[in-house]
Structures are given as C-alpha cells and as structure tokens.
Structure 1
C-alpha cells in the first residue's frame, strides 16, 4: 500500500505541488503567528519596562533618611543587591547637576543610582557598557543615554558640573545606552560618585523602586523595604505607589494574542478548504484511473486508504520541511533585529510546531475525506461506457 501511495503522489506532480504549497503556507503561518504574538507581547512589555519598570514595579518615596553618609548608603545598596524577595533600586534626587556644552553648563536629568537599575529598567547598550556590579570600582562610573551622546567630547569624556556653582570635573563616559527617553539623561553610580566626588554629593531626596518576585505580596514588600531602610540609612516611607502602568497595555496584549490565535485557526480552515478543493478536482481528473482500479479488483477501502494516505504522507513531509525552515527563520531573527532593541527574543515555539504538525495531519485527513468518499462511490461499470 505504501508503494502505491508514493506512486500515487507521482502521478500528478502539479496536484502534489499545489497541495504541498497549501499545507506549507498553513503550517508556516501558524508557527509565525504564534511567534509574532510572543514577540509583540515581549516588545510591549520591554518598551513599557524601559520607562516604568517590569510589572509590577512600586515607587517608594523615603523621607528623613541619612543619605549623605557613605557607609550607610553602601550598606543599603549592598543589602538591596542581596535581597532575595525582589529587585530593589535606589535613585537619589540631584537636580543641580549639569553638563558643560559649548562653553556653558546645560541642565540634564541626572539619575544617581546603582548597577541594579538595568535589571528593573531594561536598556539597550549602544556603546560601551553599563555600571560594573562591583561596588569597589576605582573610578567614577558614568553612562549617558542616546539623547545626551552629543554632549560627549572627542576624547570620550563629559564635563560634569553644578548648575549655579563653581564645581566642574572631566569624567570618562563608560557607555551610551538607549533607555527609551526623549530627554538627555546622565546616569551616575551612587557609590563611586559619593566616594570620588564628595564636593558634588548633595542628594535632595531618595526614591526606591521595588519589583517583587515569586509569591511576594505588597504587604510583604512594604515590610521588607521598611526593614532595609531601618538597617541602613533609616528614614520612613512617605508614599507607596505602583508605577509600571501594566494595565495600560495588558488589554492590548490580550487582543494581540487572541487575534493571532484566531488568524492561525482561520488559516487552518482556509488550508482545509484548499485541500478539499484540490482533492475534489483531483478526483474529477483521476476518475477514469480510479474506475479502472475498481474494475480490476480494488476495494472501496483500498481506494479510501489510497486517497487519504496520499494526503497524510504528503502532510508529514511538508510539516517536517516547514518546521525545518521555521527553525532557520527563528535562528536568523537575532541578525535581523536592530542591535539596540531592548528585546529578549523568545525561544523557538516548539509547542506551536507540534500543534502545526498535528494540525497538518488532521487537516489533510479532513480535507481528503470528502474526495475519498467520492472516489469510493464511483461505479466500476462506468469504465465500460
């Protein structure tokens, strides 16, 4: 029977090619639609996280903290890095900092923080690198965003100063990042700035960003932050607000995933209809051949097995080819995406590939049932006319 099925596929090359093309488009589109839905979700989450943190992120204002004490600040930041219940990032308010450009100081947003920040607010590295996690760096760590790149001097440094002040220092820029902001921003490592620029260390306030992990609830998070502050810089929590804005894009993600699923199902239906049309047309063209087979002793069951078996064998071959091509496409994605996109590419959707294989076989089976029934219903006596 298998030899007959293979020979059957060779009888009409055009019909085999058209059926293969229909299956191939359906399988590839199903896999890509799932991948696009995953990429779309990751892109929305990453874009939002650049500005407001991974969901959920809480913004905590701290008052009456001893943020001018080097040892207490160092203890607080080290405790934050070792905290097992989530990602905790400090940000010191220092609105007086600026960068000298064209002979005059220009105010820019200065974010004085720790190396943990990129774990909560993802960035794309354009040049260089982000802060080292070692808190005992031997030099001040400075990074600027893409909008502030034009302020970097030809030797790779910037002139940092204080607005309405006399302090000025030339600092080497460690890296340039894309943080999603349209405003120029300079990022400074809190510990190295406090250590090497004590004359400029004038923090006006402290904000803490907290992203809980696992099953940590909001009450547990508040207690953890309060204990951390009590054991280091002191102070008390002034406000506690969720700031990641996940609600603004969750509905978009749900719609995107639903739309891709519906599109995949519709494509499978279209593929099944195409198989039925091709199969019915093939039966019309092969009616004399099938009648001769019946006339020389082929049973109705063998005719049904021949028609359905041909479609199923073809569907398995095309499924393997389609999955192989889709694996190559997914592997090529990192080379096709811009290098400065803060997007973690998803792994190959194996579950979608398995579903596509099963769907291809089921679709081929369903699409060939009607032609098989019609073929088995042909009367051998017709061949004598």
Structure 2
C-alpha cells in the first residue's frame, strides 16, 4: 500500500506529463475497445439481416412438391412435418407465395376496387424460423385455428392495406368469392414491397382451390444449436415420412452469410492493426515520459537511495506509477465504451430492424485491460531499470 501511495504522489507531482501520457493511452484504448465493440455490433447486424430474410442460423430450405407426395391431406402433411421437426426441438415453415386480388375499399361488389397483392401462405411457425419483429398486434394463429383467420402485413403492406383492425377482402383464385380478413399484426420482414402473410390452413378453409393441382412450395427448417448436416438430415427424414425419397431432397442454406462475415473479419483485422499502432505509439509516449521524468528526478532518486531505499523499491515505485496510470485509463476507456453500447446504441437501432440491443462484449474489456496493463508495464520498464541503477554517490557529485 505504501508503494501505491508513493506512486500516486509521484503522479500528482507531475500532473501535465501524467495527463499527456494518460490521454494518448486513453485514445488508443478507446480505439481498440471501439473496434471490438463496433465489430460485434456490425456482425450482429449482418446476422440479424440475414436471419430476417432467410432464417435463423442454422436454417436450410428445400422445395416441397406436394403433388409428388400423393393424396396427403394438408393437415396430415403439416402434422407429419411438425412431428419430425419438433421432436428435435426445431421449427419449420411451409411457404407458398401467390398473387391474389386484394381490396380494402368498402362498398358493394360493383363499386369495389381490387389490386394485385402478394400473399405468402404459411404453415408452421415462420416467425420462429425467421426473425420477424412484430411492430403492432401479433403473429398468425396456429395451423389448427382456421377460423376466423386473420392476416399479417409488413411495413409496406401497412401503407397499402391499412393497420391492425382494418379489414380487407381476398380473392385467392379466379372466379372465387372474395372473403374478408382482418389485419391482426404488422411485422418487419426486410422486404421492400407490400406483403401479406396468411395461414395456409386458413386460406384453404375459405377457398379450397387456392392450392393449385400441383402445389410446389418451400420448406424451411431451423434447428437451434445444430449443424447444417443435422438440419439437412431432419429435412430428409421429414420428407421420407411423406413418401418422398431422401435422395431426391437437396436442402440448401439460403443467403450468403459466411461471405459477409468473412469480409467483416478482414475489415476488423484492418481496424485492429490501426488500433495496435496507436497503442504502440502510446506505449512509446509512456516510455519517453518515463525517461524524461527519470532525468528530472535523478537527484531525488539518488537521495532516496542514500536514505536507504533499495534498488527493488525504486524499481517498483516507477513501474507502479506507469501501471496505475495505465489501469486507471483502461477503466475510464471501458466505462466510456460501455456507456456507448448500453445507452447510445439502443437509441440508434431502428425498432423495425431485427437487431436486438447488443450487450457489451466482455472481450472488449479483457482486451483493453490486457493491452493497457502491458503498455504500462513495458513503457515503465526501461525508466524503472534506469532508476534502480541510480547510485547514491551521484548526489555527492552533483
């Protein structure tokens, strides 16, 4: 404790140099911590965007040609896939996009205006497979609840068809009678155009011929914590349960997340090199300040030696000063970066994005503390050795 008190007293005695050394180290550490924090947030942003459009990692997709399955009722098809996938604690979604006639204009049939709209008919839990933030209302009911139905629209769809509580008319197949559906939710799906999401089972209930004679759709399967190989195996097992040969099923990963993350890693490496150079400059600054301080304190150190201070004591005094300075600066830099992540970042995130407010990456704190401690130790080592070699006779020659 006495060594620490002496080191703090020495730092206060040279406030300007201590402040300059601390400032250069602070900027280097803030850059280093910022690189780690920004890299983590940007990586989360890329992952969130891909998972919003293509499915949470790991998700695989394959075409599902119901016409090749045979005369399998829709509810049996859904329950068969659900049994296979959910037995492995996973989730699935069957998706079929269709162009239908949509009207949000009140009035009788003669005056009502229809426009072409894209409807994504969904079975399973698409909201569990893809990241689909619900901005208003809720997601679709389960496949068992076919009446009274309900639809979900994306943000662009809200501008065209209305929001939660509004009713639109859907005409799923030519010459069919239009039927009303209430908007029960608004989501952010990352799609630029207007999109309507409707339960496949509910759509078939209102208009049985909404499914074509040969119904080809997409099957998405997500197994949390599993490998791509295991997800592919689950899809093949589910297809086999429907009578589809496993060899004819070719699941694939959607999107190009690996390439995006690879490019991000290269960018992080470049920023990391720049931060490392700044840290090296800060360390050299500490070394220069330490040597300059040693020259100024030569008489003082000689007096300490003449009064009985050992070489080890002098060495520890100088090293303790630079180490305390570096650790104190590291705590401040970590605190600033933590506030930026905990307070500022959530306010910059668009609520419509699929990115959840990030937590502070502990790796940034570990790297900052380790780098700061190393810089303080190395920067103070040479001055400490020079100070320890100071002889009491130097005071007599001065």
Q: TM-score w.r.t. structure 1 length?
A: 0.84
Structure 2, unmatched stretches of 5+, are: 106-111
Q: Aligned residue for 2:187?
A: 177
From 218, 222, 235, give the equivalent of 1:225: 235
From 354, 369, 377, give the equivalent of 1:357: 369
From 330, 337, 343, give the equivalent of 1:326: 337
Q: Aligned residue for 2:394?
A: 381
In the TM superposition, residue 339 of structure 1 has moved relative to its aligned partner by 1.6
SS at match of 1:347: coil
In the TM superposition, residue 213 of structure 1 has moved relative to its aligned partner by 4.9
Q: Aligned residue for 2:96?
A: 92
- Looking at structure 2, the residues matched to 67 and 20 of structure 1 have their Cα atoms a distance apart, in angstroms, of 76
- Looking at structure 1, the residues matched to 167 and 298 of structure 2 have their Cα atoms a distance apart, in angstroms, of 81
Any conservation in 2 of the 1:141–1:193 contact (CA below 8 Å)? no
From 306, 310, 317, give the equivalent of 2:317: 306
Answer yes or no: is 1:76 the counterpart of 2:88.
no
- Looking at structure 1, the residues matched to 259 and 361 of structure 2 have their Cα atoms a distance apart, in angstroms, of 27
Q: Aligned residue for 2:25?
A: 23
Q: Aligned residue for 1:47?
A: 49
In the TM superposition, residue 91 of structure 1 has moved relative to its aligned partner by 1.2
From 334, 338, 342, give the equivalent of 2:350: 338
From 154, 157, 168, give the equivalent of 2:167: 157
- Looking at structure 2, the residues matched to 134 and 104 of structure 1 have their Cα atoms a distance apart, in angstroms, of 30
RMSD, aligned CA: 3.2
Q: Aligned residue for 2:127?
A: 118
Any conservation in 2 of the 1:91–1:111 contact (CA below 8 Å)? yes
1:301-334 deviations in Å (ceiling 9; x for gaps): 3332221111112223333343344333332233
Any conservation in 1 of the 2:60–2:221 contact (CA below 8 Å)? yes
Any conservation in 1 of the 2:63–2:218 contact (CA below 8 Å)? yes
Q: Relative to structure 2, which stretch is displaced further, 262-271 or 37-46?
A: 262-271
- Looking at structure 1, the residues matched to 385 and 290 of structure 2 have their Cα atoms a distance apart, in angstroms, of 11
Any conservation in 1 of the 2:52–2:190 contact (CA below 8 Å)? yes
SS at match of 2:352: coil
Structure 1, unmatched stretches of 5+, are: none
- Aligned length, in residue pairs: 381
Any conservation in 2 of the 1:58–1:244 contact (CA below 8 Å)? no
In the TM superposition, residue 177 of structure 1 has moved relative to its aligned partner by 1.7
Q: Relative to structure 2, which stretch is displaced further, 330-339 or 168-177?
A: 330-339
Q: Aligned residue for 2:138?
A: 129
Any conservation in 1 of the 2:51–2:57 contact (CA below 8 Å)? yes
Answer yes or no: is 1:279 the counterpart of 2:290.
yes
